[in-house]
Chain A
Amino acid sequence: MLRVLFRQYLKPSESVFMSNVPVRNKHISRTPVPDTSKLIPLLDETQLFVPVVHRRHEVPLRKVNGPGRKLRSRHYVYDQIVPGTVPMPDVEVILVQDVPGKGVKGTKLNIPGDKAYAEFLIPQYAVYASPENELKYAAEIKEVANNAQFSTLSAQKTALCISQHTAFFFMNMKNPWTIEKWHARVAFRQAGIVVPEDCIELPKQPISGPDPDKQGKHFIAYITINGKERAPILCRINHFINDEDQKIAVPPRFTPPFDPVFEEDRAQVDAFIHNRSEIQRFNI
């Protein structure tokens, strides 16, 4: 009966809603969806990543200190308060050891909470900057400037990156040669490292050829970064000729045997090969 009356007196646009939707409690179902974005600033920091809800229909008041009222099904209609995609709040940490690319011992860092937990606190590279820890590591915090062993933050990381490479020196098979700095510059460029010649440091004894004994043998050169860090790099001699019949196949890097050109360098080359997996792993 009421529906018929509404249809007669209301505008057609409004009456469509009234007539077509079969709902039982209209006064409840037609309450507008509240704007929960106003409630976001009331959230605690620890509530940002758990579902937080707000009741659409309030529970009636109970007696003072009395038992709770029996809830009806409408009291379980919730609106979620979504704070959007927010990063985890920052945490202040103190580094306990040198971390390449991040800082030296005693450096204070402000990092997002989840990153600090997974990458600094659990591997025990850092501790919380709590008042007790600040007292404990006061000496290290003071001497951060003196502890700096590298020129820039990224220099040590670059040095590690460089020592993961192997430079192939392609030398002529017929014409005589002695390895010079410009040879090294070209070899490093082929390995993906562009360096000026004054940064390169070759072995003191000259290496000359062509010599079939030196085919596939290794020596160690150094690249100096910012005049401070000395990055070692493994170099391998490979004879080259532009004739398909005499060409020697190029093996992939880090393939045995690892024979040195100079017998004094054997221990150093072996250590280099042995530690290469550690070099690759220590990459934050």
Chain B
Amino acid sequence: MAHRRLVPENKGLQNVTKLYYVPKPSVLNEGRGRNLPDAFKRFYLELIQEPAAVHHIPEKRKYIRDPATGIVRRGQDDPPPVIYPKAFHKGLWGGAGILKGFSHNNPKLQRFPKYWAPQYETSVVYSEVLDMFITTIMTKRTIQLIHKHYGFDHYLLQTPACDLKSDLALKIKRNILLALDKNELPHTNPEKREQVYNAYKHYLEKYDSEFIEWYGLKISEAILKMEFEMEKAAGAPQPLKVLYRKEFLQELQEADIKKEELEDQPAPASGISSIFSKLNPFKRNN
């Protein structure tokens, strides 16, 4: 078996199949998004993970035995599809969305289409790091989650992006992380500022500064940011007239030098050659 060790990463058939592997086209592979930095791709992968169960009781068992018949079958988790409307991104719903389906409470009648939505309330959240009160639309689940993590900032920083999901929550989290990373907290009292920074600085171990810079952006925003930075790195575009002027000046200078050289040369001795030289039509006039 010694010869096998010489081959790097011998994974059998997997290596062969990978030769023909073409990744599925997505926003990050195609178009303007393909040049996005890895830091943003890491955030995007965090965002599209499967969220925690909110609207159903998850099936965690691998195999299930039927108590009546004793037959064993595989356990399978099928979460109901959830709708996240526009209003979801303007508030903090704690990951809860809207369900669309049928209710069939009376077997004698037909089933009826129905929407299930959580109860909303206008409430306030307080961010300790940003020292800011924010009035938003919330659900009771959000308040419970804040209690579970002992505070709004801890809730945002401990929860992955796939569970927060809403634009507002991700924006607030981004601002908190940026403030912590640059150590620019808006507190007026320096003692209080230091106290808050010390309470939250351990979260910076999980997020590095490049990751924070791209955290919580939408794809369109990330592309704009990338293109802006590329333009900035390339510098301001130079107009062509500057280039042409430079070339023209160089030409003039060269012409002057040649003239001077010609003048310095001694005049030809014979008169005949000078007459012929005047008659020659193919001669260049310098």
Q: Is the CB of A130 within 8 A of B107?
A: no
Instruction: State the CA gap A39–B151 with chains docked (Å).
Output: 30
Q: Is the CB of B144 within 8 A of A88?
A: yes
Q: Is the CB of A114 within 8 A of B140?
A: yes
Contact mask for chain A residues 118-143; partner B; CB cutoff 8 A; 1 contact, 0 none: 10011010001010110000000000
Query: Which of B59-90 touch A at CB < 8 Å?
Result: 73-74, 76, 78, 80
Q: Could you say which residues of chain A place their CB within 8 Å of the CB of B139?
A: 49-50
Query: Which of B213-248 touch A at CB < 8 Å?
Result: none
Q: Could you say which of A30, A46, A59, A132 contacts B94, with CB atoms under 8 Å apart?
A: A46
Q: Is the CB of A59 within 8 A of B78?
A: yes
Q: A5 within 8 Å of B by Cβ?
A: no
Q: B274 within 8 Å of A by Cβ?
A: no
Instruction: State the CA gap A91–B146 with chains docked (Å).
Output: 11
Contact A77 to B54, CB < 8 A, known contacts A50-B141, A117-B147: no
Q: B105 within 8 Å of A by Cβ?
A: yes
Q: Is the CB of A31 within 8 A of B107?
A: yes
Q: Determine the residue in chain B with the shortest Cβ distance to A62.
A: B76
Q: Could you say which residues of chain B place their CB within 8 Å of the CB of A246?
A: none
Q: Determine the residue in chain A with the shortest Cβ distance to B116.
A: A51
Q: Is the CB of A128 within 8 A of B104?
A: no
Q: Is the CB of B76 within 8 A of A53?
A: no
Q: B119 within 8 Å of A by Cβ?
A: yes
B178 to chain A, nearest CB (A): 24
Q: Is the CB of B118 within 8 A of A52?
A: no
Q: Could you say which residues of chain B place their CB within 8 Å of the CB of A53?
A: 55-56, 80, 99, 101, 116
A197 to chain B, nearest CB (A): 48
Q: Is the CB of A46 within 8 A of B76?
A: no
Q: A177 within 8 Å of B by Cβ?
A: no
Query: Which of A41-81 touch B at CB < 8 Å?
Result: 42-56, 59, 61-62, 64, 68, 73, 75-81
Instruction: State the CA gap A17–B102 with chains docked (Å).
Output: 22
Instruction: State the CA gap A51–B111 with chains docked (Å).
Output: 19
Q: A146 within 8 Å of B by Cβ?
A: no
Q: A23 within 8 Å of B by Cβ?
A: yes
Q: Could you say which residues of chain A place their CB within 8 Å of the CB of B110?
A: 23, 29
Q: A284 within 8 Å of B by Cβ?
A: no
A13 to chain B, nearest CB (A): 14
Q: Is the CB of B99 within 8 A of A51?
A: yes
Q: A249 within 8 Å of B by Cβ?
A: no
B166 to chain A, nearest CB (A): 15
Q: B124 within 8 Å of A by Cβ?
A: yes
Q: Determine the residue in chain B with the shortest Cβ distance to A130.
A: B150
Contact mask for chain A residues 235-248; partner B; CB cutoff 8 A; 1 contact, 0 none: 00000000000000
Q: B203 within 8 Å of A by Cβ?
A: no
Instruction: State the CA gap A52–B100 with chains docked (Å).
Output: 12
Number of interface residues of A (CB under 8 A): 52
Q: Is the CB of A114 within 8 A of B116?
A: no
Q: B123 within 8 Å of A by Cβ?
A: yes
Instruction: State the CA gap A122–B80 with chains docked (Å).
Output: 35
Q: Could you say which of B55, B104, B114 contacts A52, with CB atoms under 8 Å apart?
A: B55
Instruction: State the CA gap A76–B115 with chains docked (Å).
Output: 11
Contact mask for chain B residues 137-165; partner A; CB cutoff 8 A; 1 contact, 0 none: 00111011111101100000000000000
Q: Is the CB of A78 within 8 A of B103?
A: yes
Instruction: State the CA gap A130–B158 with chains docked (Å).
Output: 15
Q: Is the CB of A114 within 8 A of B143?
A: yes
Q: Determine the residue in chain A with the shortest Cβ distance to B148.
A: A46
Q: Is the CB of B145 within 8 A of A46?
A: yes
B97 to chain A, nearest CB (A): 9
Q: Could you say which residues of chain A place their CB within 8 Å of the CB of B78?
A: 55, 59, 68, 75
What would 30 A/B residue contacts be, using CB atoms closer than 8 Å? A30-B107, A32-B107, A39-B57, A42-B57, A43-B57, A46-B141, A46-B144, A48-B144, A49-B118, A50-B54, A51-B55, A51-B117, A53-B55, A53-B101, A56-B104, A61-B74, A61-B76, A62-B76, A75-B78, A77-B101, A78-B99, A78-B101, A78-B102, A80-B116, A89-B144, A117-B146, A117-B147, A128-B147, A130-B150, A133-B150
Shortest 8 CB-CB distances between A and B: which pairs?
A: A51-B116, A49-B140, A76-B101, A130-B150, A50-B96, A128-B150, A59-B78, A50-B118
